[in-house]
Amino acid sequence: MPDARVRTRFAPSPTGALHFGSVRTALFAWLTARHAGGDIIVRIEDTDQERYIPGTEALILETLSWLGLDWNEGPEVGGPHDPYIQSLRIAIYREHANTLVAGGNAYWCTCTPARLAAMRDAQRAQSKPTRYDRRCLARQAEVAQERANGMAAVVRLLMPEGVTEWDDLVRGHVSFNNSDIDDQILLKSDGFPTYHLAVVVDDHLMEVSHVIRSDEWIPSTPKHLALYAAFGWDAPSFAHVPAVLGPDHQKLSKRRGARNVLEYGELGYLPSAIVNAIALLGWSSGDEQEVFTPEELCERFTLDRVNSAAAIFDPKRLDDLNGIHIRRMSTDELVEGLEFHLPGTSKETRRQLIPLLRERMVTLGDATRLCAPLLGEITLDADVEFPPKKVDQATAVAMIDACMAAIEAGGLEDQPALLEQLRAVGESRGVKARDAFRVLYVAVLGTAAGLPVIEAMAFLGKEKSLQRLREARARLG
Ligand code: GLU
């Protein structure tokens, strides 16, 4: 029975393109909503003007769309809580900050950066935690006067006493002593909200039921819960998902040069394989299955199967999954998908190449390299050993001569028979077929490996194949 009340959100800051770690957060929020038949909201959190990188919102939305992670409300699609871009909602946050001040849950503070720095230095010197000392809380009338005189001021949350705790859907029970938490700035002196105020106000107004985000935000959650309580609002459920580490066991981050997910698309990784690989970063189905379509993931995914330990991104696993997802593509899908990687080819040409390629691609981009000898000319590079290793000169000559004779006699018509015939040539001379065939690979494709050589010759046609064999034969003397 779908639970229509599930509303999740993905709330990226436009500070760079999405990498695997940030897409993982988006994917888990998307899967949670889709699994429950609920909604997902995309909201752009762009109130930190210093970290803003123009143009990255568009890149983020393009990445989500390319991966097939659609959204019910947000930029481009709109929705009942428009606008979904925080910089367009500043008046809402100010109004809410004023409500908190009026209710005694927040206060204005005019302490200068110099005073705050001196205060922290003194606290550090006494080995105390660095926290705002609430100097302004006790002098609100004076602060009001200072503000009227044009002094810069911020609004701070009055963190209540006691303990803040919640049952995290991934972490389990989490608890903080409020005395360990600073009086968080909610509204900055430029009138912009901090993340903490904006995220709580928006999650509430946008009726978010599940906040799914990276576990780096756990220390912020008690501040958010204090805000929900101060406003008199019910808090949503929280699921803090663990970090994604690179193969070097360091956290994936934009700063550490984690690759933009769209670049994987250019290399020929499939959105379905990326979604599959990212889902497995911290989630497992509970059985042996590892290969999933996005539809299967929507059906199977639940947050209670998300591991709370950090997940490690393994590029090899992505490659394996990508190969599997490629082999599951229909010929029509491959004809379409290979257009970018085999530029200038007709649909018909691609259709002919697919049986040669399908089992041999890790990425669609591999088609470019594999098909180059068939779509253009080859150069027999001096650094390619010829005759190849483990093959004597006479056997190489015999292979080429037999191949040319067979082609002249119409051998390309019956490829399995030609294969048998040529296999026999090597074996009769005591050379393993695998080694003997390398002679033909180098002759026809210019490399000792690649597409299956008999099918490749059939694609090239009789004349072109004979010409390449003749040239190679000449090199053998
Ligand atoms: N804007 C925050 C980020 O980009 C989102 C944090 C959250 O989901 O609450 O990390």
Domain housing 17: 7-76+195-244
Instruction: Look at ligand 1, atom 10, and give the residue with the nearest C-alpha.
Output: 12
Q: Do residues 84 and 41 touch, judged by C-beta distance below 8 A?
A: yes
Atom of ligand 1 nearest to the CA of 45: 1
Same domain, 33 and 163: no
Instruction: Classify residue 218: in a domain, yes or no.
Output: yes
CATH code (residue 70): 3.40.50.620
Instruction: Classify residue 322: in a domain, yes or no.
Output: no
Whether 254 is catalytic? yes
Query: Which uninterrupted H or E stretch holds 91?
Result: helix 90-102
The pLDDT score that the predictor gives to residue 255 is 67
Same domain, 106 and 157: yes
> How many angstroms separate the Cα of 147 from the Cα of each of 150, 175, 189?
5, 37, 10
Atom of ligand 1 nearest to the CA of 203: 9
Instruction: Classify residue 233: in a domain, yes or no.
Output: yes
C-alpha 13 to ligand 1 mean position (Å): 6
C-alpha 96 to ligand 1 mean position (Å): 20
Same domain, 102 and 55: no
- Measured in residues, the chain has a length of 477
Query: Which uninterrupted H or E stretch holds 473?
Result: helix 462-476
C-alpha 287 to ligand 1 mean position (Å): 32
Quote the Cα angle for 104-107-112, to 5°.
170
What's the token pair of residue 433? 């077929």
Query: Which uninterrupted H or E stretch holds 244?
Result: strand 244-245
Q: Do residues 325 and 290 touch, judged by C-beta distance below 8 A?
A: no
Same domain, 138 and 71: no
C-alpha 344 to ligand 1 mean position (Å): 43
Same domain, 381 and 414: yes
Of 162, 187, 212, the last residue of a domain is 187
C-alpha 45 to ligand 1 mean position (Å): 7
Marked catalytic residue, from 128, 188, 223, 254 = 254
Same domain, 65 and 199: yes
Same domain, 175 and 201: no
d(C-alpha 16, C-alpha 52), whole Å: 8
Instruction: Look at ligand 1, atom 5, and give the residue with the nearest C-alpha.
Output: 11
Q: Give the distance from CA 342 to its chain's centroid.
A: 25
Same domain, 470 and 386: yes
Cα–Cα nearest to 278, from 32, 25, 57: 25
C-alpha 29 to ligand 1 mean position (Å): 12
The pLDDT score that the predictor gives to residue 243 is 87
Same domain, 447 and 393: yes
C-alpha 103 to ligand 1 mean position (Å): 27
* Best residue among 86, 195, 244, 255 to mutate for probing ligand 1, ranked by most atoms within 8 Å of CB: 195
Instruction: Classify residue 388: in a domain, yes or no.
Output: yes
Indicate if the alpha-carbon torsion angle 47, 48, 50, 53 is positive or negative: negative
* Best residue among 44, 204, 217 to mutate for probing ligand 1, ranked by most atoms within 8 Å of CB: 217
Same domain, 137 and 69: no
C-alpha 220 to ligand 1 mean position (Å): 11
Pocket of ligand 1 (CB under 6 A): 11-13, 45, 199, 213, 217
Write out the chain's pLDDT in tens, 477 residues.
445 589 999 999 999 999 999 999 999 999 999 999 999 999 999 998 889 999 999 999 999 999 999 999 999 999 999 999 999 999 999 999 999 999 999 999 999 999 999 999 999 999 999 999 999 999 999 999 999 999 999 999 999 999 999 999 999 999 999 999 999 999 999 999 999 999 999 999 999 999 999 999 999 999 999 999 999 999 999 999 998 998 888 887 766 667 899 999 999 999 999 999 999 999 999 999 999 999 999 999 999 999 999 999 999 999 999 999 999 999 999 999 999 999 999 999 999 999 999 999 999 999 999 999 999 999 877 788 999 999 999 999 999 999 999 999 999 999 999 999 999 999 999 999 999 999 999 999 999 888 999 999 999 999 999 999 999 999 987
Q: What is the pTM of this model?
A: 0.92
C-alpha 12 to ligand 1 mean position (Å): 6
Instruction: Classify residue 208: in a domain, yes or no.
Output: yes
* Best residue among 43, 87, 214, 255 to mutate for probing ligand 1, ranked by most atoms within 8 Å of CB: 214
d(C-alpha 168, C-alpha 162), whole Å: 19
211-243 b/e (C-beta count within 10 Å ≥ 16 → b): bbbbbeebebbbbbbbbeebbeeebbbbbbbbb
d(C-alpha 75, C-alpha 126), whole Å: 49
Instruction: Classify residue 287: in a domain, yes or no.
Output: no
Instruction: Classify residue 293: in a domain, yes or no.
Output: no
Of 227, 244, 261, the last residue of a domain is 244
Atom of ligand 1 nearest to the CA of 13: 4
Render 383-444 in DSSP notation, one character per residue: TS-SSPTT--HHHHHHHHHHHHHHHHTTGGGSHHHHHHHHHHHHHHTT--HHHHHHHHHHHH
Instruction: Look at ligand 1, atom 8, and give the residue with the nearest C-alpha.
Output: 213
* Best residue among 10, 27, 49, 199 to mutate for probing ligand 1, ranked by most atoms within 8 Å of CB: 199
Instruction: Classify residue 2: in a domain, yes or no.
Output: no
Of 244, 263, 280, the last residue of a domain is 244
Same domain, 13 and 140: no
Q: Give the distance from CA 253 to its chain's centroid.
A: 11
Same domain, 386 and 465: yes
Atom of ligand 1 nearest to the CA of 10: 8
Number of domains in the chain: 3
The pLDDT score that the predictor gives to residue 41 is 98
CATH code (residue 427): 1.10.10.350
Atom of ligand 1 nearest to the CA of 195: 1
CATH code (residue 121): 3.90.800.10
